Chain A
Amino acid sequence: MTPGTNTMNNNDTILKVEHLSMRFGGLMAIDDFSFEARRGNITALIGPNGAGKTTVFNCITGFYKPTMGMITLKQRDGDHYLLERLRDFEITKIAKVSRTFQNIRLFSGLTVLENLLVAQHNALMKASGYTILGLLGMPAYTKASAAAIDKAKYWLDKANLTERADDPAGDLPYGGQRRLEIARAMCTGPELLCLDEPAAGLNPRESAALNTLLHSIRDDGASILLIEHDMSVVMEISDHVVVLEYGQKISDGTPDHVKNDPKVIAAYLGVEDDEVEQIEEQLDEGRI
């Protein structure tokens, strides 16, 4: 398999990041970073600590405004959106990109079901005629709220949380909270789901459950972009891996390609630049 091509689904691009730069004062957190994510793929963004992965995420999802660069999202129906021009909530509402957070951000005092209903806020808001028709008890709103509960049930089932639907979200175990956050992001009806370290802190069993959930999300038609530290998770589930170090892209391709890229090995093992060639030689000889 050559880098850059993929056998899954089509080769349609969903997210295109071009020359993205983000500067915090004197620090260049991301420096001229470009990559593409293809529709129907699980794209992983990896790199050592402090490489700028979460910063890239925050730029894509509008929590930071990039200093330079263009982020284009192409929807299924062909519409293009320039994400750096949208406000953060519009990126979810209009461009249909949703995200989760590295440190889980659930509405811990609301029940699991309510968390999933809040995620459908915009659709329900429209159906309730911006609250006015809903207050009058119009049938359109009743129907919409029933549909919202059905959608929530669907994702509860997928995330294996149906039993806990009426418990407060803060009461779930850690793995359940991770899955609920992903289910909540899916309830906004995204085309691209951005996950910030979904497997962090999970035990092997929860990790396996997460992989199943991510695969079923991809098979449902949403594309996934994820940051991950756990190499076993990355190698197992992603179709395409982009490696970031010190704000710059050092490798881009299939998991197998990236795994054997000497630059990546150097970045992860902390080898001096001039030793990279040496390692490459060793690789060729099959010693590593």
Chain B
Amino acid sequence: MAQSSDNNSLMAQAAKEALVAAAVSFGLFILYVGIETYQDINNALVWRTRWGLLAVFVVIAAVSRFLVVGFIKPHLDKRKRDKAKAGIPEVSDGKNFFQRNFLKIALIGLLIYPPLSVMLAGTQGSLKYVDNFGIQILIYVMLAWGLNIVVGLAGLLDLGYVAFYAVGAYSYALLSQQFGLSFWVLLPLSGILAAFWGVILGFPVLRLRGDYLAIVTLAFGEIIRLVLINWTAVTKGTFGISGIPKASFFGIWSFDVGAANNFTKAWGLSMSSAYYKIFLFYLILALCMLTAYVTIKLRRMPIGRAWEALREDEIACRSLGINTVTTKLTAFAIGAMIGGFAGAFFATRQGFVSPESFVFLESAVILAIVVLGGMGSLTGIAIAAIVMVGGTELLREMEFLKHVFGPDFTPELYRMLLFGLAMIVVMVFKPRGFVGSREPTAFLKERKAVAGSFTKEGHG
């Protein structure tokens, strides 16, 4: 009896709140959605009403409020109460097979991804999945892992990371065209050059902290881009550099169509750029694995611990005899080097580089991936990159949305909106990113993850 009266009052409450939500959304949307202005044939501004669309908005607001108050919230409250009653079931030891072997499964999945897409979509059809999804996401994974060393481990907020990506890309583009050096010589060289620029930038900048460091690195990123635009004698300015040579299969087989040792000819395959893309997929996968290996290894070395200590408290570091300048410089240089590798790869994959590819937005996207994934966590960052980059690529595929919203609708223009939405959602529910906890680098008895609430973000 009490139960049903409880339920009735809950439903009444929900209905009341739904009405309020409907009224509020009606007031909010009546001018924005209910009325539309447009230009008629004489270029005069006229308006028309869209009551149908307005009704849809209001109904959505009312129904969702009703559902939240009437069903979702009581359900969540009940679950919370049950949890509190049950004690501390937060940590469950019985991880299932998938959770225990997550990394191995992920790696195997990545390895069989290209052949699988060839099997499912055909040689030519696999291009989209291997190139647009696979390679694109892996480049961002690598960039974000590189930035993770600077931002996530050492706590130095770098808003100009794309500068090192640009240095790597242009190093490969220019040196390969001017001197005809191969990809395998220039890949390490691009990394070294980017690291060199990292150190050059680092020396004057790293005495700054926090906001000041962020602003100066942002300026550095813009300087590099402006130099690329304006130094036309070398970089050809906004035209960019085209015809950048392709990477070869370790010098054994070439992917150039005219070459005698062409890969497809040597293996008797049909002419397709898909094979080159598959090769590039494995190449960037290997580069990513190298980055992950170096990061994991370095974290357990004294230098990696010093980075994390620097993020936690710089003054305490100095009181322990740690030279903070060289420690910050190494973080900057290694982060920059990884950016440089990714840049050289980007140049050889595109065959074309221009300053357009290295705008501030790229830095912001990479930083967003690091923050969303959880600073310092490789797995979290990889997931964030898949969600964010893969998500924007998926938007391009959403052709059916045109039938819903009209032929003028271009879904990929909404990617920034979705980016922002995703960031807000993640920051509300997981303020420390997908993986907020931190794995300790050494332990006496058991390895316990450090909760995100204890770690700091760093102040410069």
Interface residues of A (CB under 8 A from B): 61, 63, 88-93, 98-101, 105-111, 113-114, 117-122, 124-125, 128, 131, 134-135, 149, 153, 162, 165-171, 184-185, 188
Contact = CB atoms under 8 A, between A and B. Distances in A.
B211 to A, nearest CB: 21
Given A109-B312, A121-B321, A121-B322, A166 B454 contact: no
Contacts of A118: 305-306, 309, 317, 320, 322
A245 B324 CA distance: 34
Contacts, number: 135
B301 A149 contact: no
Contact of A114 (B313, B321, B322, B440): B440
23 contacts: A63-B318, A89-B323, A93-B321, A98-B321, A99-B319, A105-B315, A106-B313, A110-B305, A110-B440, A111-B440, A111-B448, A113-B444, A114-B440, A117-B305, A122-B322, A124-B302, A128-B301, A134-B302, A166-B443, A166-B444, A166-B445, A168-B451, A169-B454
A63 B322 CA distance: 14
A258 B445 CA distance: 48
Given A114-B308, A168-B454, 16 more contacts: A63-B315, A88-B319, A89-B322, A90-B321, A92-B320, A101-B319, A106-B313, A107-B313, A109-B312, A109-B454, A110-B305, A113-B444, A117-B441, A120-B302, A128-B303, A131-B303
A113 B298 CA distance: 18
A165 B444 contact: yes
B321 A105 contact: no
B105 interface: no
Contacts of B316: 101, 105-107
B13 to A, nearest CB: 41
Contacts of A89: 317-318, 320-324
B238 interface: no
Nearest to B334: A131
A284 B298 CA distance: 67
Interface string B308-347: 1101110111111111100000100000000000000000
B78 interface: no
Contacts of A188: 320-321
A92 to B, nearest CB: 3
Contact of B446 (A98, A106, A125, A166): A166
Interface in B427-460: 438, 440-448, 450-451, 454-456
A170 B303 contact: no
B334 to A, nearest CB: 10
A108 B456 contact: yes
B50 to A, nearest CB: 52
B75 interface: no
Contacts of A166: 440, 443-448
Contact of A109 (B298, B330, B456): B456
A225 to B, nearest CB: 14
Contacts of A111: 440, 442-443, 448, 450
B402 interface: no
B135 to A, nearest CB: 28
A4 B417 CA distance: 74
Contacts of A105: 313, 315-316, 319
B297 interface: yes
A170 B454 contact: yes
A128 B441 CA distance: 16
Counting chain A CB atoms within 10 Å of each CB, the highest count among B308, B319, B323, B447 belongs to B319
B303 A108 contact: no
Nearest to A112: B444
Contacts of B440: 110-111, 113-114, 166
Contact of A131 (B298, B444, B450): B298
Contact of B306 (A106, A121, A167, A185): A121
A106 B316 CA distance: 7
Contacts of A109: 308, 311-312, 438, 450, 454-456
A119 B312 CA distance: 14
Contacts of A153: 444
